[in-house]
Structure 1
Amino acid sequence: MNHTTKLQAHRPTVARSGAAAAPPPARSAKRRITSTQWAAWAFLAPVTVYLALFYAYPLYRNLDLSLRDYTVRSFVQGDAPFTGLANYRKVFADPTFVPALLHTAVFTAVCLVFQYAIGLALAVFFNQHFRLSATLRALFLVPWLLPLIVSASTWSWMLSSESGVVNAALHAVGIGPVNWLTSPSWSLTSVIIANIWIGVPFNLVVLYSGLQSIPASLYEAAAIDGANAWQRFWRVTFPLLRPVSAITLLLGLVYTLKVFDIIWIMTKGGPADSSTTFATWSYQLGFGNLLPAFGPGAAVGNLLVVAALVFGLVYVRVQRKQGLS
Structure 2
Amino acid sequence: MPAPAGKGSPRTLSTRLVQIAFIVPAVVYLLLFFGYPVVKNVVMGFQEYTTKTFFTGEAPWVGLENYRNVVGDAIFSRSVWNTVLFTAGSILGQFVLGLAIALFFHKRFALSGVLRSLILLPWLIPMIAGTAVWRWILDADNGALNRILSAVPGLDLSPNWLTSTSLALVAVIGVNIWLGIPFNMTILYGGLQEIPEELYEAGALDGATGWRAFRHITWPLLRPVVTVVLVLGVVYTLKVLDVILGLTNGGPANSTQTIATFSYDTSFRQFDFGAGAALGNILIVISLVFAVVYLRLNRKAVDE
TM interval, short-chain normalised: over 0.9
Deviation for aligned residue 1:89: 0.7
**In structure 2, C-alpha distance between the alignment counterparts of 1:116 and 1:316, rounded to whole Å:** 17
Deviation for aligned residue 1:313: 2.1
What's the CA shift string for 1:125-165, capped at 9, x where partnerless? 11110111111111101001111111111111100011100
Letter of the aligned partner of 2:290 in structure 1? F
Letter of the aligned partner of 2:247 in structure 1? M
- What TM-score comes out, normalization by structure 1 length? 0.87
Deviation for aligned residue 1:65: 1.1
Is the aligned partner of 1:114 residue 2:93? yes
**In structure 2, C-alpha distance between the alignment counterparts of 1:323 and 1:271, rounded to whole Å:** 44
Letter of the aligned partner of 1:145 in structure 2? L
Gaps of 5+ in 2: none
What's the CA shift string for 1:38-91, capped at 9, x where partnerless? 322211111111111111110111111110111211234321110111100111
What residue number does 1:255 align with?
A: 236
What residue number does 2:114 align with?
A: 135
What residue number does 1:175 align with?
A: 156
Q: 1:311 to 1:154 in 2, by over 3 A?
A: same
**Contact persistence 2:227–2:295 (CA under 8 A):** no
Q: 1:48 to 1:89 in 2, by over 3 A?
A: same
Cα RMSD (Å): 1.9
**In structure 2, C-alpha distance between the alignment counterparts of 1:29 and 1:258, rounded to whole Å:** 48
What residue number does 1:192 align with?
A: 173
1:238-249 equivalences in 2 (<5 Å): 238-249=219-230
What residue number does 1:151 align with?
A: 130
1:1-325 equivalences in 2 (<5 Å): 29-173=8-152, 174-289=155-270, 292-318=271-297, 321=300
- What TM-score comes out, normalization by structure 2 length? 0.93
What's the CA shift string for 1:243-301, capped at 9, x where partnerless? 00010111111110110000001000001100000111100000023xx1111111111
**In structure 2, C-alpha distance between the alignment counterparts of 1:155 and 1:135, rounded to whole Å:** 24
Letter of the aligned partner of 1:262 in structure 2? V
**In structure 1, C-alpha distance between the alignment counterparts of 2:7 and 2:147, rounded to whole Å:** 80
Deviation for aligned residue 1:218: 1.3
Q: What's the % identity of the aligned pairs?
A: 47
Between 1:39-48 and 1:78-87, the stretch displaced more is 39-48
Aligned residues: 299
SS of 1:82's equivalent? coil
> Whose radius of gyration is greater, 1 or 2?
1
